[in-house]
Amino acid sequence: MLISGWKSISMVDVHGKVTFTLWLCGCNLKCPFCHNWRVAESKECFPLDKKALLEEVETSSFLIDYFHVTGGEPLIQWKELGGLFAQVKLLDIPISLNSNLTIIKPLERLVKAELIDHIATDLKAPPTKLYGLPENVSIKLWKLFLKGLDVVSQYSLPLELRIPVAKGFEAWNWIEEGLSHISTDFYVVLNPLVGKPLTYPRDEEWCSKHCWPRKEVDNLKKRLEELGIEVYVNSWSSQ
Ligand code: SF4
């Protein structure tokens, strides 16, 4: 398994939880705002030393709420990931997966095998602008994402729904469509997109037009709260 690293105690990867976080390399999307694009493109990655990882996970186990796997897109390496999850489960530690939910069959397999206890995902709206891929491909991937939300709901997995907020797009119809596929416990975390000097996005020109939203964040928070949804906003300083 190709990874870019891990952090044995993290307080910022899942809202209100302490996690042991592992970053896996590779991704099937090309989000222009991605600040983990080196991980997504498998640059600066190395093979996992599973024994060392599991020893460290065991040592941290009394402090953590979840073993959290993120990336990149972890389901790219789903077979190896399933094996790792099974070993972490033996330590009696709940597992949280951050996925873009577009790789459906592997997601279903891991969920059916009861290897996942919590999901975090981004609702990237509009996908035609935020996936960084040709429009027809983005639409297909969006449909897969909606199926992914169906799977999460079908198995009643608790969900952290993250919404990256960009400037200058009409996103609400996409967000409403995504929300209509969620029937499990969830809350929303709004992530205003940021660029330099806080992060180094994949496409700086794109980010100069669409990062650093202001009124979009307040408007979206208000609309979601009007629907009775619990909403948290990641401030720029916390990112
Ligand atoms: S933001 Fe996430 S889904 Fe998008 S390219 Fe980066 S790692 Fe992949």
* Per-residue pLDDT reduced to its tens digit, 132-169: 999 999 999 999 999 999 999 999 999 999 999 999 99
Whether the CB of 57 sits within 6 Å of ligand 1: no
Question: What integer is the mean pLDDT of 93-121?
Answer: 98
d(CA 220, CA 29): 24
Site to substitute for ligand 1 among 2, 3, 21, 31, most atoms within 8 A of C-beta: 31
Query: What atom in ligand 1 is closest to the CA of residue 37?
Result: 6
Question: Which is higher by pLDDT, 239 or 30?
Answer: 30
Q: What is the mean pLDDT of the chain?
A: 96
Residue minimizing CA distance to atom 4 of ligand 1: 31
Q: pLDDT grade, residue 31 (50/70/90)?
A: very high
pLDDT at 239: 44
Whether the CB of 120 sits within 6 Å of ligand 1: no
Query: What atom in ligand 1 is closest to the CA of residue 30?
Result: 5
Query: What atom in ligand 1 is closest to the CA of residue 72?
Result: 7
* In the predicted structure, residue 237 carries a pLDDT above the cut 80: no
pLDDT at 236: 59
CATH number of the domain bearing residue 171: 3.20.20.70
188: alpha, beta or left? (left if phi > 0; alpha if psi -120 to 50): beta
6, two tokens: 């891990």
pLDDT at 235: 77
Q: Give the range of the structural domain holding residue 76, as residue numbers without chain letter.
A: 2-238
Report the number of distinct structural domains present in the chain.
1
* Per-residue pLDDT reduced to its tens digit, 171-204: 999 999 999 999 999 999 999 999 988 999 999 9
73: alpha, beta or left? (left if phi > 0; alpha if psi -120 to 50): beta
Q: How far is the CA of 41 from the centre of ligand 1 (A)?
A: 10
Q: Reduced to 3 states, what is the DSSP secondary structure of residue 161?
A: strand
d(CA 209, CA 175): 21
Q: Could you tell me how far CA 97 lies from the centroid of its own chain?
A: 8
Q: pLDDT grade, residue 238 (50/70/90)?
A: very low
Q: How far is the CA of 176 from the centre of ligand 1 (A)?
A: 22
Whether the CB of 201 sits within 6 Å of ligand 1: no
DSSP states of 141-160? HHHHHHHHHHHHHHTT--EE
CA distances in angstroms from 227 to 166, 179, 184, listed in the order given: 21, 10, 15
Q: How far is the CA of 31 from the centre of ligand 1 (A)?
A: 6
The answer to whether residues 102 and 141 touch, using CB atoms and an 8 Å cutoff, is yes
